[in-house]
Amino acid sequence: MVSRAPSTLPPGKRPDLRTRVNDFWQHVTDGMEVSQLWSQFEKDARSSYRFYNRGLDQAAENVSPGRRFLFTARQLFWAILEKLTPARRVLLLAALVMLIFPGGGFTFRDQSGTERGVQIDLHFFGGLFLLVVLVLEVADRVVMKRDLEIAKEIQTWLLPGVPPQIPGVAVAYMTRPANTVAGDYYDVFPRPGRTPPEDRVFLIVADVAGKSIPAAMLMATLQASLRTLSNTHSSLAEVVTGLNQYACSNSQGGTRFTTAFLAELDPATRQLTYINAGHNAPMLRHATGAIERLERGGLPLGILLDAKYETGTAALGTGDWLLIFTDGLVEANNTKGDEFGEERTVAVLNSGIQATPAEMLTQLTTALDAFVGNTPQHDDVTAMLLKCT
């Protein structure tokens, strides 16, 4: 987005009509070019259609091809209508009726007995009713956006800022919410042991089922629980077991589960101890080019109260890369419905081995953006990269 300042004129001189129109256009568009506006509109339209079209594709499968268009249009209309309050539904329906049947009139006789006719054009009132519905919806959106921005600011406090300094290991991370707030969680923080040789660095990347506010709230409780449990001298398995027990008490019968990859790194030996709780298996790319997947662990958190978790280990050597990510990365779709996939992710990882983790993340997000194009993002994207130097 390119922001442009309004035209400046000498004091006392009024701008001409062309200048005023240009300033108005720049203010409305925030300085965006027509191609950028169209790209944004296309992306918004795809996102809105996907939102309103949920569940319609399956219902239309049982309808004959000749009637499928009308059936889908009717279902889509009701899907839109049901998102409104009853009062706004009435206003919208009244507006549509006035726009479809705009004419009407009646005749009467005046005091002199002359017959007179009166014609009423309902176009104006139909447009006015539509404007009222739009204004009410925009007001709701502004209020919600303000609340979401506050929630986003709070969530930012919960996530790490500058990556910590780890001897011999460089770290970088990024997250890109599908909505204003995310259900993904990542963190890197020191975990002191009983003695300095037992000090570890704790790593976590987690993905709460769902998106937006509900997922973000569960993410916040997960972060608080993890910080509490990690302050004890419990083993990694005990920490994960405690997290699972807490998650089960807030999972709404297993529907609000969380996949997570949790690990402890020993900076002195570069030994990684980890548990994969139903998460996408991180990629450990060794300096030789071989890819190792870190899969040991158990079920996602919040599904089974007495779930058992297996601990895995991995040795990180000089030149090794560790990529921990959420499914929003590899499952990102383009306009054809193809997924970005793990092969493309590995290709980016292989092509930038001389880069820093921050540079590698930039290359990864650039490749992702080029692949998806204008397709709306449907899931949070989070990635953490470690490089042994």
- CATH value at residue 244: 3.60.40.10
| Cα 384 to Cα 216: distance, rounded to the nearest angstrom | 19
The pTM of this model reads 0.69
Q: What is the pLDDT of residue 79?
A: 78
249-288 residue pLDDT tens: 876 666 678 999 999 999 989 999 999 999 999 999 999 9
| Cα 286 to Cα 320: distance, rounded to the nearest angstrom | 4
**DSSP helix/strand/coil, 217:** helix
Q: Quote the number of domains for the chain.
A: 2
Q: Which residues neighbour 73 within 8 Å (Cβ) at sequence distance 6 or greater?
A: none
* Alpha carbon 308 to chain centroid, angstroms: 31
328-351 residue pLDDT tens: 999 999 888 899 999 999 999 999
Same domain, 188 and 321: yes
Same domain, 70 and 171: no
Q: What is the pLDDT of residue 3?
A: 47
For residue 154, is it within any domain? Answer: no
For residue 188, is it within any domain? Answer: yes
Q: What is the pLDDT of residue 2?
A: 44
Q: What is the pLDDT of residue 364?
A: 95
What does the angle CA 340 – CA 343 – CA 347 come to, to the nearest 5 degrees?
105
Same domain, 198 and 97: no
Same domain, 236 and 301: yes
Q: Which residues neighbour 215 within 8 Å (Cβ) at sequence distance 6 or greater?
A: 181, 182, 183, 208, 209
Q: Sorting pLDDT into bands at 50, 70 and 90, what band is 7?
A: low
Range from 22-26, 50-54, 137-141 carrying the lowest mean pLDDT: 50-54
In this structure, are strands 271-277 and 297-298 parallel, antiparallel, or unpaired? parallel
Range from 51-55, 188-192, 241-245 carrying the lowest mean pLDDT: 51-55
Same domain, 137 and 255: no
55-103 residue pLDDT tens: 555 555 666 666 777 777 787 788 778 888 888 888 888 888 888 876 6
For residue 81, is it within any domain? Answer: yes
Same domain, 140 and 260: no
For residue 155, is it within any domain? Answer: no
Mean pLDDT computed over every residue of the chain? 83
Instruction: Please identify which residue in the block is written with the tokens 């925009």.
Output: 138
Give the H or E element holding residue 274: strand 271-277
For residue 71, is it within any domain? Answer: yes
Q: Which residues neighbour 383 within 8 Å (Cβ) at sequence distance 6 or greater?
A: 173, 174, 175, 323, 324, 325, 326, 329, 361, 364
Q: What is the pLDDT of residue 1?
A: 43
State the SS3 of 107-140: EEECCCCCEEEEEEECHHHHHHHHHHHHHHHHHH
Query: Which amino acid makes up residue 360?
Result: M
Q: Which residues neighbour 357 within 8 Å (Cβ) at sequence distance 6 or greater?
A: 170, 171, 172, 385, 386, 387
Same domain, 181 and 206: yes
For residue 110, is it within any domain? Answer: no
Other Cβ atoms less than 10 A from the Cβ of 145: the count is 11
Give 196's DSSP letter. G
Same domain, 370 and 325: yes
40-59 residue pLDDT tens: 777 777 666 666 666 555 55
Structural contact between residues 222 and 208, judged by C-beta atoms closer than 8 angstroms = yes
Task: Give Cα separations from 364 to 153, 178, 291 (angstroms).
Answer: 26, 17, 17
For residue 111, is it within any domain? Answer: no
Same domain, 207 and 180: yes
For residue 2, is it within any domain? Answer: no
- Examine the pLDDT at 381 and tell me if it is beyond 70: yes
Tokens at 55, concatenated: 């569940």
- Examine the pLDDT at 161 and tell me if it is beyond 50: yes
Q: Which domain holds residue 245?
A: 163-388
Same domain, 81 and 213: no
**Looking at per-residue confidence, does 316 or 103 come out higher?**
316
Tokens at 48, concatenated: 């809105």
Structural contact between residues 273 and 235, judged by C-beta atoms closer than 8 angstroms = no
Same domain, 243 and 304: yes
113-122 residue pLDDT tens: 677 766 777 8
Same domain, 99 and 206: no
Closest CA to 272 of 163, 166, 356: 166
